[in-house]
Structures are given as structure tokens and as C-alpha cells.
Amino acid sequence: MSSRALIPLRFSVREHPILSLVAARVAISIPILFVVSILIFAATEVLPGDVASAVLGQSATPSALAALRAEFNLDQPAYLRYIDWLSGVLGGDLGTSFTSRRDITETISLRLGNTLVLAAATAIVTVPAAVFLGILSVYRHNGFLDRAVNAFTRATVALPEFFSGYLLIFVFAVTLGWLPSSAAVFRDMSPGARAVALILPCITLALAVIGHITTMTRAALLNVMSSPYIEMAELKGLSRWTIIRRHALPNAVGPIANVVALNLAYLVVGVVVVESVFVYPGMGQYMIDAVLRRDVPTVQACGLIFSVAYIVVNMLADIFALIANPRLRHPK
């Protein structure tokens, strides 16, 4: 056996640029989450009014208010309650609801599942359609189709979600009667009935994100199309579609992936308005109800989960963009 075979293999992250950059992104996300947790807790602390009075009502006696404050540690300093809350979160315990007295983790698991189903159903249709529209717009650059796609994307970006939602309800639920105005779903619903209930919320969310993805895809591809190697491919006689598919699109993956990730994060985080419009039992509606009831632990848990989802999706987009960069895949 050669002496080289006896040398132990050593693995170092520094020797692999991509792994080093991935580790850097992960390391940055941890302090960001810590700062976000402080901001979420502080934001709920500065809300006006007394939590105990909001939970028990104006007719509550002073002794009942004092007992509730002691039960939920509201009589302790804010920094002690933050440490107790953070330690519970790190241990997987999101706390107990002030109003329902139920474990928040159990309730959020079902609500989060509904939100993820809505976001996934929207993303499966919207992301491929938006990327295709961006590619089609570049393929017919400065033509009628390009101008039509630009007009469509600008219109969708300008429309707020609540306006699109109520407009869709008026047209398809009230006027035509084709679809239900409410997206209330239950455990015992059939898959077909659940799919029908999700149509209008999915269209509303799709209109909110398709314009951004299409516009960024078009801009990224046009930026690559002005490169010298694209001109060389054109001189070789390659068709415009072949140039876009083989040369432009692979080099525009990074910016496209970033904007897709941002919009995927929005599909999870920005569902508050859409779920409220369609009375969909997801995380957004759950958070709105908690704010109205001054259920502080529930608001904190929802805010933290939304923040984690947003940071994780963006971190994955950065990692994907780094891996898709040829200069990082083949370092010198």
C-alpha cells in the first residue's frame, strides 16, 4: 500500500468556495433571526392597552386581572419574559394562547399546513407561467407580444391584493355564481371541493406575484442577450430561440432564482390580506384574529414563523444562485 493511501483525508470548507459561501449565508441567518425575535417581542410589548383587560373584558375585577397577569407572567419585567419566550421557542414550545388556553404549536401546525397548501398550489402554476412569459417576451422583443406582456405585468403589479380579491369575488362568485366567495376548508372536505375553494385565492396570489417574476425574467435575459458571446452565437447562425434556451437562460438563472425566491417567500408571508378577504383558515387569518383579541403569544409565534420562512427561502435562493454560477462551480 502506498504511503499516499495512508494519509487521512481532510475536508475543509475553506477549500470549497461554494460550501464556504453557503456556510457564510447560514451564519448570517442566525443573528438575523435573533434580531427579528427581539423586534417581534418588542413590537407586541409597545401595543397600546392592557392585555389582561383585553382578554377578560372591561367588567373584570382587579383580582381577576391580577390573577391573569400572574398566570401568564405579565407581572414580570419584559426582558425576563423575552428570555423565557425565546428559551421555549428554541425548545419547540411556542407558548399557550391567552384566549383559547390551547397549545399554540398544535393550532399553528394545522394553520401552517393550510397556508403552505395555498402557497404551493399558487407557485406550481405561477412560477412556470411567469418564467415562460418572460422568455416569450424576450423572444418577441419589441414586438406586439412583448408589449402585451409588459402591459399585463404592469397592471398586475399595480393592483393591490384586496382589490383583486374582491373583484374576483364580484365577477365569479356574485355575478356569475361559478365559484364560492369563501375559501373556508375543513378536514372532512373532499379534494375536489377543497380545490374549488382554493381557485379564487390562488388567482389572487398569482396576480400579485406573476408580474414581478415575469419582469425580472425578461430583464435578466435581455441583460445576458447583450453579451459578446450572444453576438457570436448570432453570427454563427443560431436561431433566437436556441440562443435563449442554450446560452442566455443558463446564465440568467441567478437573478431569476432570486426573484422567484422572494415571491415564494411572499406567498407564505404575504397571505395575510388574501386569507382575510377569502376567510381562509391559514396563518394569516389566524394572526389577524390573534391581533384583534390581543393574543400576544399567538401574534409572536405567527410573526416568528413568517420571519423564519422568509429568511430560509431567501437563503436557499442565495445558495442556488451561488451554485448556478459557473465561476463558483469551477474556481481557479
Banded pLDDT at 2 (limits 50, 70, 90): very low
Reported residue count of the chain is 332
Question: What is the rounded distance in angstroms from the CA atom of residue 142 to the CA atom of residue 169?
Answer: 35
pTM, 2 dp: 0.77
- Amino acid identity at 240: R
Q: Which residues pair with 103 in a beta bridge?
A: 96
- Statement: residue 1 has pLDDT above 50: no
Banded pLDDT at 331 (limits 50, 70, 90): low
Question: What is the rounded distance in angstroms from the CA atom of residue 25 to the CA atom of residue 262?
Answer: 16
Q: Which domains does the chain have, with CATH numbers?
A: 111-291 (1.10.3720.10)
Q: Span 93-105, mean pLDDT?
A: 81
Banded pLDDT at 18 (limits 50, 70, 90): low
Predicted confidence at residue 110, as pLDDT, reads 81
For residues 185 and 281, is the Cβ–Cβ distance under 8 A?
yes
Q: Higher confidence at residue 51 or residue 179?
A: 179
Q: Which residues pair with 96 in a beta bridge?
A: 103
Question: What is the rounded distance in angstroms from the CA atom of residue 180 to the CA atom of residue 53?
Answer: 38
Q: Which of 46-50, 76-80, 117-121 has the highest mean pLDDT?
A: 117-121
Residues 6+ apart with CB under 8 A from 284: 115, 271, 272, 273, 274, 275, 276
